[in-house]
Amino acid sequence: MSFNKNIDVGEKLSGLFVIRNIELKSKDAQFYLKMEISNSSGRIYATYWDEDSQKISKELRRGVVVKILGRGIDVKGSRWLQIDAIRLANKDEVSVKELLPKGHYSCETLWERFSNYIDEIENPNLKNLLKRIFDDDKEFLEKFINYPAAKLWHGAYVGGLIEHTLRVAKICSVVSSFYPNCRKDLLLTGALIHDIGKVDEITTDGFFDYGVNGRLLGHITLGVIKLKETANEIKDFDEELLTELLHLVISHHGEAEKGSPIPPKTLEAIILHHADMLDAQAEGIEHIIERDLPIRGEFSNYIRILERFIYLDGYRKNSK
């Protein structure tokens, strides 16, 4: 999510932002601040060139909320913000949570759709497991409904995690009907729990980032821990079934280079991996189209995570 599509050169902008990154730099013997800032509308790079740059750099740091007055400028084809005035926000001016980017659906709507998938599960072991994870742990559920699916790439907004999970579950539900040997209950359960570790991986203090557990363990490991602990609370839980569920979580990234130490080795694991990758890439490209459509030219900026440009002209013509 980015301001690039919204702010014009010279356009004035005033509001509250959280500082994602900040550096004190110098050019031609003059100090200035380079920042990345964000609020619920997106994120943007910004510079501040006034004489007090060095002084106020001691007050500003990553994660603090500031009140900013600035204007749009062009930096090598991208929109930045030239800050004319900046101060620390007062505690009563804004809640940090209000600065997070928002999704399109209410928590109630998302949870209703998610609950419908749990109701579809017929296997008593699997249904009991899902209810233990999502119904019995209210603190976990609150986070699962409100957390993003990723820091920046896809589903990087409040509710992004459950939205991503719902789309993966929908893809798996449809694909399961194509293959007679597919165990739909197992596949759907894997879809619903494959990213539960992200609740312990990502922090939401003003902007999305990876916490200590996220950086040291990652969401796959954290998800396996959560799944194992919950299954151990259920008397006589089928050990073979648990092993297959753990395999679904462990292998859903497909290969070691992308975070999965074991590749998918069951039909359900292969379907889940491709469903997860499909939604992550498609939703990420949706974001790229939204962000870069105002850019002149046939293609988007270079997308490093995909190692390619995205063709935009077709979407530009469709939007007219």
**Measured distance CA(10)–CA(13) in Å, rounded:** 9
Of 50, 77, 97, which residue is a domain's last?
97
CATH number at residue 35: 2.40.50.140
The angle formed by the CA atoms of residues 126, 140 and 271, to the nearest 5 degrees, is 45
Do 35 and 135 lie in one domain? The reply is no
- pLDDT number for residue 29: 82
Do 90 and 108 lie in one domain? The reply is no
Do 107 and 249 lie in one domain? The reply is yes
Residue 301 lies in a domain: no
CATH number at residue 214: 1.10.3210
Residue 302 lies in a domain: no
CB 286 within 8 A of CB 207: no
What contacts 24+ positions apart, CB below 8 Å, involve 30-39?
31/57, 33/57, 33/60, 33/83, 35/83, 37/66, 37/68, 37/81, 38/99, 38/101, 38/207, 39/15, 39/99
Do 72 and 170 lie in one domain? The reply is no
Do 142 and 209 lie in one domain? The reply is yes
Residue 245 lies in a domain: yes
- pLDDT number for residue 230: 95
Of 42, 70, 97, which residue is a domain's last?
97
Do 142 and 184 lie in one domain? The reply is yes
Residue 298 lies in a domain: no
Residue 226 lies in a domain: yes
Residue 118 lies in a domain: yes
Q: What is the pLDDT along the chain (320 residues), one digit of tens a residue?
A: 445 456 788 888 888 898 888 999 988 888 999 999 988 888 889 999 988 888 888 888 888 888 999 998 888 877 899 999 998 888 777 777 777 878 888 888 999 999 999 999 999 999 999 999 998 888 999 999 988 888 777 777 888 999 999 999 999 999 999 999 999 999 999 999 999 999 999 888 777 888 899 899 999 999 999 999 999 999 999 999 999 999 999 999 998 888 899 999 999 999 999 999 999 999 889 888 887 887 767 888 888 888 899 998 888 766 55
Do 89 and 225 lie in one domain? The reply is no
- pLDDT number for residue 42: 80
- pLDDT number for residue 209: 81
Do 248 and 108 lie in one domain? The reply is yes
Do 120 and 75 lie in one domain? The reply is no
Backbone angles phi, psi at 283, to 5 degrees: -70, -35
Question: Which domain does 66 fall in, by range?
Answer: 3-97
Do 201 and 74 lie in one domain? The reply is no
Do 92 and 106 lie in one domain? The reply is no
Residue 268 lies in a domain: yes
Do 45 and 122 lie in one domain? The reply is no
Of 97, 121, 153, which residue is a domain's last?
97
Residue 310 lies in a domain: no
- Tally the domains of the chain: 2
